[in-house]
């Protein structure tokens, strides 16, 4: 069924659509999500269909309080509690043993559910108005650049979903960090808007899963992901400009301006947090240009630089057959 998609700030309207089993675009501090009742398999199926998302890629569930999360999981490991208490609400997702109330479709049949509390006032107000949690992956066609404004969602899902709840530009701009337990060790499964330094400052040394998989243990862990439609190459920008001088090049740089007709500087001041916030908007702008090719460079690895570099590597990855 095709919809005339509306953008608005009416939380009551969004809630009514969700209560009736529909799906809506919803703001969070990380990226915009495509939300549906996480306990309603029909609503969850609509999310997968709208995104053209493969069923082996699980979804993140959103709630509004740790006490609420306890309703949807069998238990919370004691080592994760300090992290949850400090960074929820925030750009943190935890993998926890799911309760039977969570449908298999949400977790792709896996025994753990990815769950978080968004740090966005509109998202929290919406969640508090509902008596169920929301499954909400990024509100974009599967594999494409994640949306950080309501207009980004509209550009990709116009006519597919009925309503986009507008909460302004996302404050973090990249997806949440996903953590879980394996034995006694805390594992970071996906780099994101909560830095490793922040995590380790709370719970001590953690292990980082440094590879992606086509059979992910959690959401957003595929090798090729967050990608523009145009080919994208990651490396030294000056060398790549010389190598591809015969092509129309678009340049996505950290803080330096390069001699290219089409360019987007993530942070002229060299601020990694600002670069993270502007990453997906920059990729979208260059993808919409007349360039044949997008070239980019890695950021310094500290703080959110690790997560930005993870997104850049996967945006530039060539999917394996």
What is the secondary structure of 59-128 as a DSSP string?
Answer: -EEE-S-HHHHTTSBS---GGGHHHHHHHSSSSEEEEEEBPTTS-HHHHTT-SEEEEE----HHHHHHHH
pLDDT of residue 204: 95
CB 295 within 8 A of CB 313: no
pLDDT digits (tens, 9 = 90+) for 5-27: 999 999 999 999 999 999 999 99
Spatial CB neighbours of 271, under 8 Å, sequence gap ≥ 6: none
Residue with the two structure tokens 């899963």:
209
What is the C-alpha R_g of the chain?
19
Query: Is the domain covering 6-208 a CATH 3.40.50.970 domain?
Result: no
Two domains, one topology: 6-208 and 232-315: no
> What gap in Å lies between CA 308 and CA 129, rounded to an integer?
33
- Alpha helix locations (H) across 158-265? 196-203, 237-243
DSSP 300: P
Could you report the per-residue pLDDT of 240-282, keeping only the tens digit for each?
A: 999 999 999 999 999 999 988 899 999 999 999 999 999 999 9
Query: Between 3.30.1330.10, 3.40.50.11030, 3.40.50.150, 3.40.50.620, what CATH number should domain 232-315 receive?
Result: 3.40.50.11030
pLDDT under 70: residue ranges of the chain: 1-3, 210-226, 317-321
Q: Which is nearest to 61 in space by CA: 15, 112, 25, 8?
A: 112
Query: CA nearest 9: which of 103, 150, 110?
Result: 150
Between CA 107 and CA 179 the distance in angstroms is: 15
Contact 175, 59 (CB under 8 A): no
3-state secondary structure of 175: coil
Residue 233 sits at φ, ψ, to 5 deg, of -125, 135
Distance CA 32, CA 164 (A): 9
Q: How many CB atoms lie within 10 A of CB 14?
A: 26
Asked whether 233 and 240 are in contact (CB, 8 A), the reply is yes
How confident is the model at residue 212, as a pLDDT? 47
- Distance from CA of residue 206 to its chain's centroid? 21
How long is the chain?
Answer: 321
**Contact assessment for residue 139 and residue 175, using Cβ atoms and an 8 Å cutoff:** no
Q: Using CA of residue 200, residue 206, residue 211, residue 217, what is the dihedral sign?
A: negative
Residue of 17, 31, 240, 9 whose CA lies nearest to 118: 31
Report the pLDDT value the prediction gives residue 138, as an integer from 0 to 100.
Answer: 94
Residue ranges per structural domain of the chain: 6-208, 232-315
Residue 260: the pLDDT is 83
């Amino acid at each position: 069924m095709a919809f005339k998609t509306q953008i608005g700030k009416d939380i009551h309207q969004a809630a009514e659509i969700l209560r009736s089993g529909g799906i809506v675009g919803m703001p969070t501090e990380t990226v915009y999500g495509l939300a549906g009742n996480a306990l309603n398999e029909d609503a969850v199926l609509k999310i997968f269909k709208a995104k053209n998302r493969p069923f082996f890629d699980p979804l993140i569930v959103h709630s509004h309080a740790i006490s609420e999360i306890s309703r949807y999981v069998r238990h919370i490991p004691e080592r994760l509690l300090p992290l949850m208490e400090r960074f929820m609400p925030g750009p943190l997702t935890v993998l926890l043993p799911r309760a039977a109330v969570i449908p298999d479709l949400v977790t792709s049949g896996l025994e753990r559910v990815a769950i978080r509390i968004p740090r966005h006032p509109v998202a929290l107000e919406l969640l508090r108005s509902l008596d169920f949690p929301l499954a909400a992956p990024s509100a974009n066609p599967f594999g494409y650049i994640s949306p950080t404004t309501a207009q980004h969602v509209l550009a990709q899902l116009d006519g597919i979903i009925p309503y986009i709840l507008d909460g302004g530009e996302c404050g973090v701009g990249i997806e949440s960090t996903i953590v879980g337990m394996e034995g006694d060790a805390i594992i970071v499964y996906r780099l994101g808007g909560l830095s490793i330094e922040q995590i380790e400052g709370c719970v001590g040394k953690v292990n980082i899963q440094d590879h992606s998989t086509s059979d992910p243990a959690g959401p957003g862990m595929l090798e090729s992901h967050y990608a523009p439609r145009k080919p994208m190459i990651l490396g030294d920008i000056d060398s790549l400009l010389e190598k591809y001088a015969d092509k129309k090049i678009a340049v996505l740089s950290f803080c330096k301006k390069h001699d290219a007709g089409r360019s987007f500087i993530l942070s002229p001041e060299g601020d990694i947090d600002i670069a993270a916030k502007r990453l997906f908007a920059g990729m979208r702008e260059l993808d919409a240009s007349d360039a044949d090719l997008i070239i980019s460079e890695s950021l310094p690895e500290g703080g959110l630089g690790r997560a930005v570099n993870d997104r850049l590597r996967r945006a530039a990855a060539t999917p394996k057959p």
